[in-house]
Structure formats: C-alpha cells, structure tokens
Amino acid sequence: MINGGMSSSPTQADTSSPLMRRAWLVVGLLFPVALLNYLDRQMIASMKVSVMGDIKDIGSEENWGHMLASFKWVYAICSPIGGYIADRFSRKLTICGSLFVWSLITWLTGHVGSFNELYWARTLMGISEAFYIPAALALIADYHTAGTRSRAVGVHQMGIYCGVMVGGFAGFVADAPELGWRFMFDFTGLAGILYAIPLLLLLRDVPRQVDTQEALSPTARGGPIGELLCNRNFILLVFYFTLPALAAWVVRDWMPAILQKAFNISQGKAGVSAALYWQGAALLSAILGGWLADRWMRRSDRGRIYVSAIGMMLIVPAMFGVGNAPALNSFGLAIASLILFGIGWGFFDCNNMPILSQIVRPHMRATGYGLMNFVSMMCGGLADWGFGRMRDMQVPLNIIFGVFAMVCVFSLVLVLLIRPRPGT
C-alpha cells in the first residue's frame, strides 16, 4: 500500500535515527503554527465585551453568535478542499500558505470598523485556517508510525491548547487602555506572517512509495471521497468526532461570557478562568493519552479507541458540572468541571488522527480529516448560533449542558463500534 511514512519509516526501536529526529523536528516546527491557529481564532471570545463596546452595530448576542458561526461554516466547507489539496499536491505548501493568509487576515481584523467588516474578516479567516489542520495532522501521521503517532499528535495538539490559553489572557490586553483589543490582532497577525518564511524553508513533505498491491487495489466509485463515504468505520468516526465538538465549541466561544455573567467577575479573569484550567488539563492529558495509547497499541489494535473512550467517559460528568455550577453559585465547581473536561478532551483529541490512520488508506488522511472537520464545524456553527439564541430566550444552562452530556454518552457507544484494519 502507499507508504504514508518515509521510504524507511522510523520505528520505536530507532528513536535516535536521523529519520526519527526529522519526524520530531516536523512536530516542533508545527507546534507554534498550531498555537497561532487557535490563538487567532479564539482570542476574540475573551475580548467580547471590548469588541462589542467598540463596534456598536454588533448589537445582540445572536449577531455575535452568527459571526462566530460564519467562521465555522466556511471553515467546514473549505476543510475537505484543503485536505484534498494536501493529499494530492503538497502538505508543506498547504500548511505554509494557510499560515501566511490567515495571519494577514488576522492583522486586518484589528483594523475593522463595523460589524459587517468584522463578519467578513472572520469569514475569510475561516477559509484560510481550514487548510491547516488536515494537512498538518496528515504530515505528522506520515512521519510517525504506529509506535509514536499518538504521542506526536498529542504534542501538536498541545500547541492548540497553548493557543487557547494565551488567548484567555487577551481579555487583560483588551482592558489595558494603552493596548486594547486591536493590538492583539496586530501582534499575532504579524507574528504569523514572519514565521511563514522560515517554515517554508525548513518543512519537508514525505516522499511516498507505491507498491504493487496498492497500485492494483480498487478505488470506490467517486474517487477518494466516494471510498471514504462507503467506509462504515469512517462514518462512525465522523459522528464520534462531531458530537462532542458541539459542547467543546460552546465552551471555547461562550465560557468567558458565561463565567463573567454568572459570577460577576472581570472580563480578564473570566477569559483566563475559561481557558487556562481546561486547556492546561487538556495539554497534560494529551501527552498522557498519547503515551498510553501508543503503549496500549502494543497489546491491541483497539488501544487508541479505548483511550479515546476513557476520555469521553470523563467529559460526560464534566458537562453536568459546568451546566449546574452557575445555578449553585459555585465557581469552584465550574473550574473543577472544566478541568475534568480538559482531561477527557486531551485523551479524545490526541487519538482522532491516529484512529483515522487505522481505518483509511494513507493517501486519504488529509481528505478524511477535512471531511471530519466539515461535519464537525458545520454542526459547531449551529451550536454557536443556537446557544446565543437560547441564551436570548433564557434557557437554563443546566438543561443545555445536560443535553451535551447525553450526546457524549451516545458518542461513547459510536467509538466502540469502530473496527481498525489489521496491522495499523
């Protein structure tokens, strides 16, 4: 079959080889890109009060939710396109081009003057950012074999969590009279534009080999997309990947505002509290979950599925805690629940691409992840818009998050139904 790794793939036994060093260098190069990818998209949630106060015609919570949703919807539509381009042409060029364009748009966001301009800036950011994650995770999976794949993805996802945590401090920057919310967009946009240059010089695609068996294997009608959509395990993974993300996007986008209103705290403290604790927990658990999954894979080809399922089990009670904390006026319960959510999310997040690599052929990894992102982000956009609508209608938080918890229970069943290909 197509060798998704290098011509002589690194194994667990040759961790000091030049090939393995190159494999980990790729992860290191992509770490700051992952950080910027989520910092640029998430920091606006921590600066909501400042942005809405400055741009008066935003008006309502529903408009704010619609703006957040527009990012996700165009991101969703473009994710399969970005994945297909990365699979067919170059993962490296897809990654570097995405970083440069979204960073330019980030800088431009700091100069908008109306809701309409902000709406379209976020929409364009969604288009440009959509090309990164499928290409980056596929490139990591290309370089890392089964012995290190979950750990490598876990380290990359740490960059995402760091980005969200740094974004949580954006509220303090927005509150500072000498800086303000626009400064954050200027600074991070310029940082991404500058980093795209050395990244283009240092990053390398993996040469692919095609053996006779792969060349002769049949392809489903409709090409790679048709083959993926006819794959029962892939469909299960798409739903498993999507359903918990409904809760995750609401936590990312709305938790600062929820904590600020429920516990009457400052914008800065709410932003940090909403991001630092659960993202910090996810950061540590992604490493632990990756290590545990790689070890479990030595005994069972379902090792990654079991570790991911453990994470989902932890997310369920976390959702109940987050939803009930405001009614109980317990800030401690809210933080403890967010930490538990982060632990579960790290176990879940570091194993999605590795599980995908066990059920699809290597040259479909980016396309497959792009399709997963398409469904997840479309539904995430609806969750953002719907949550804003329900908050305007005064629907209690415990009911909303209780539904999220039940959705996660269903997801747990779905992942246990996935059957990996032997030897992957």
Average pLDDT for the chain = 87
pLDDT of residue 63: 83
Which residues are CB-neighbours of 238 under 8 A, at least 6 positions away? 371, 372, 375, 376
96-106 as b/e: b if 16+ CB within 10 A: bbbbbbbbbbb
- Alpha helix segments (H runs only) across 350-364: 352-359
**Which of helix, strand or coil describes residue 325?**
coil
HSE, CB side, 13 Å, CA atoms: give it for residue 147: 11
- Model confidence at 82: pLDDT above 70: yes
Residue 12 lies in a domain: no
pLDDT confidence of 221, banded at 50, 70, 90?
low
> Dihedral of CA 57/61/62/68: which sign?
positive
Does the pLDDT of residue 228 top 70, yes or no? yes
User: What mean pLDDT is predicted for residues 130-157?
Assistant: 92
CATH number at residue 408: 1.20.1250.20
pLDDT at 170: 84
Q: How far apart are CA 417 and CA 257, in angstroms?
A: 37
CA nearest to 383, candidates 287, 245, 274, 261: 245
Q: What pLDDT was estimated at residue 415?
A: 96
- From the list 326, 268, 371, the residue with the least C-alpha distance to 48 is 268
C-alpha closest to that of 31 among 163, 228, 130, 229 = 163
**pLDDT over 50 at 9, yes or no:** no
Instruction: List C-alpha distances in Å: 82 to 3, 74, 94, 126.
Output: 21, 12, 7, 12
Question: Whole-structure pTM over 0.75, yes or no?
Answer: yes
6 within 8 A of 69, measured Cβ to Cβ: no
**Residue 423: pLDDT band with limits 50, 70, 90:** low
Number of Cβ within a 10 Å radius of residue 247:
25
Evaluated on CA atoms 360, 243, 166, 277, the torsion sign reads negative
- In this predicted structure, which of 168-177, 326-335, 341-350, 397-406 has the lowest mean pLDDT? 168-177
More confidently predicted of 224 and 151: 151
CB-based contact 82:74 (threshold 8 Å): no
DSSP letters, 397-408, are: HHHHHHHHHHHH
| 36 within domain boundaries | yes
Total number of domains constituting the chain: 1
Indicate whether 84 belongs to any domain: yes
Q: What is the mean pLDDT of residues 63-92?
A: 88
11 located within any domain = no
Q: How confident is the model at residue 220 (pLDDT cuts 50, 70, 90)?
A: low
Tens of pLDDT, residues 86-121: 998 999 999 999 999 999 999 999 999 899 999 999
SS3 365: helix
Residues 6+ apart with CB under 8 A from 372: 79, 237, 238, 241, 242, 352, 356
- Band of pLDDT at residue 218, cut at 50, 70 and 90: low
**Residue 29 sits in which domain range?**
18-204+223-416
pLDDT of residue 124 exceeding 60: yes
Q: What is the pLDDT of residues 267-302, one digit of tens each?
A: 778 877 887 888 889 999 999 999 999 999 989 999
422 domain-assigned: no
Does residue 421 belong to any structural domain of this protein? Answer: no
> Closest by alpha carbon to 388, among 151, 70, 101, 15?
70
Q: What is the pLDDT of residue 344?
A: 96
Q: How confident is the model at residue 60 (pLDDT cuts 50, 70, 90)?
A: confident
Cα 34 from Cα 47, distance rounded (Å): 21
Query: Does 153 map to a domain?
Result: yes
Domain-embedded: residue 117: yes
* pLDDT(380) > 50: yes
Point out the least confidently predicted range of 3-7, 356-360, 390-394: 3-7
pLDDT at res. 5: 41
Output the pLDDT for position 48: 83
- Alpha-carbon distance of 35 to 254, in angstroms, equals 20
